[in-house]
Structure 1
């Protein structure tokens, strides 16, 4: 016989705490009011009458939930209505008002237009420093392709897009659904349409320190200097074969950087045994950055459902900030 209780909700919340609700751990270590204040400063709300908007802190929390679990706006609306841990995290346990899918989209667009992704990422970075997690041990560099839905265009239309022109035959509805900024690239014989995210993570804590988002066709090596973290306590820099550039390596070494980039074999010139051993030593160090991308993939960061470089930049930067918050919880729990 099923036992009923007037205190069933409280009993379930207590059991969630015993099982280890990561959202409650995040609640203990993250200052969401400070994040909301940063968002309001960079992307202030516009009062237009009608129903008052939901508090910025609630919406920042919702954005973190979306990034943490890789949820679309429709899925987010359903989960907030259905899921106890989400309601508790958002402070909506006993509320009759729940944000809908349009509310989530509107808030994200507000931040995207204001280019608030970098400000939010830096606000998270400051909280990491307050907890004592400053960048240590050197840099681990890597990049990953992020696909978006493929575009069906003719050869003539593709040529116009490359010239940054809009085909005359496209209706307004078509223009809204066509991503004219994403590009094609090939990696290991596989074609990908979308964008690329380059990151620098510190070796000590595996926290993302710098992020750069570009179209997929831009080469990894173009972004290495953009994601260097000059605040890191070490000048060591580890990267794979995609970052080979002799002139840049000499320039960085002249500035005091200790550059550890894997050697790349050329056609007809295989690597020597010494070079192979060096590549293995570097691989053992930079393998830790693969853990970062594996976690981002678990959070739904290996695919985007958006159109345009600005939206891709905001969503991937926000995903990196959320990864850092998740990593902070793991570090605090283990310490």
Structure 2
């Protein structure tokens, strides 16, 4: 690591740490850095006759911080110059900050080799060793992520991999993120993405880790039982219209109680969506096409899981 500047030394000597500094300090402790570096190292360029590449560990840290704080490539470069805590975690000094093109190329390297999924699996394995994953129940759900619907661009058309869908009485254009969440811990164990017009139930087989006894889902997953050919107890929400048709009495009161119990368990799936969209900035797509946005969504889910681990460790 290079010698820190006087400004960085003054920053480090402050009595009160900001929330960003606290967060980065926790991530430094809980992210399995060595395991992630082993995933990327075979694909990373080595020093030769050309320009010497940046240290892999520094670029990985820059890339993860870019996802944690929902920054574009130019914004990440500027943030590295402006914020000492980001430089501290990356191990880079002011004179060695990568430019936006280098940050972009590293992201493209991960996308080209589909390494976001491998990084996600490493985090899975890390948390499983700590006893935080693969319990006997899962919750599945999906959320729509908006994409630009305007055709006022260079190509004069919308992103062909995004599609229109209708939810309630409102139309949406974009993609869907589908997740499987552990019913006990609330940790995300599976992520897939599709165009927004893809049915939720069509992805259910890819959202289960295979060791569940029970699965909870909303009414959009009706018929899932026929798509997963093994013994699983399904707890799928009933349609409000079906509930409204039932006559008042004990049967309806019992059905309401059952639906309330299902909903109280399914509520755990909303927290990951909230964090991924609000904290990590994935309420709208940033890139064109599913591949790039899938990589970003997967890394956001990875960051969420590590963040949840810091919360459990702290308490």
User: Which secondary structure state, in structure 1, belongs to the residue aligned with residue 174 of structure 2?
Assistant: strand
1:13-51 deviation per Cα after TM superposition (whole angstroms, max 9, x unaligned): x6428996111111112221220220223x343767532
1:238 partnered with 2:216: yes
**Worse overlay, 138-147 or 258-267:** 258-267
TM-aligned CA distance change 1:238 to 1:44, over 3 Å: same
Higher normalized contact order (CA 8 Å, seq sep 6+, divided by chain length): 1
Aligned ranges for residues 97-246 of structure 1 at < 5 Å?
97-152=96-151, 174=155, 179-231=159-211, 234-245=212-223
1:72 partnered with 2:72: yes
1:255-283 deviation per Cα after TM superposition (whole angstroms, max 9, x unaligned): 22110001125589735624333221100
What is the distance in 1 between the residues matched to 2:115 and 2:31?
A: 19
TM-score, normalised on structure 2? 0.87
Equivalent residues of 2:32, 2:123 under 8 A apart: no
What is the distance in 2 between the residues matched to 1:87 and 1:117?
A: 23
Equivalent residues of 1:221, 1:244 under 8 A apart: yes
Aligned ranges for residues 1-335 of structure 1 at < 5 Å?
8-12=10-14, 15-16=16-17, 21-41=22-42, 43-45=43-45, 49-92=49-92, 94-152=93-151, 174=155, 179-231=159-211, 234-245=212-223, 248-249=224-225, 252=228, 255-265=230-240, 270-271=245-246, 273=252, 274-298=254-278, 299-334=280-315
> What is the root-mean-square deviation of aligned Cα atoms in Å?
2.8
What is the distance in 2 between the residues matched to 1:328 and 1:6?
A: 28
User: Which secondary structure state, in structure 2, belongs to the residue aligned with residue 8 of structure 1?
Assistant: helix
User: Once the 2 structures are TM-superposed, how far is the Cα of residue 185 of structure 1 from its aligned partner?
Assistant: 0.8
Unmatched segments (≥5 aa) in structure 1? 154-169
Query: Match for residue 162 of structure 1?
Result: none
TM-aligned CA distance change 1:267 to 1:53, over 3 Å: same
Unmatched segments (≥5 aa) in structure 2? 1-5
What is the distance in 1 between the residues matched to 2:313 and 2:41?
A: 28
What is the distance in 1 between the residues matched to 2:38 and 2:160?
A: 34
Query: Match for residue 163 of structure 1?
Result: none
Aligned length: 304
User: Which secondary structure state, in structure 2, belongs to the residue aligned with residue 295 of structure 1?
Assistant: helix
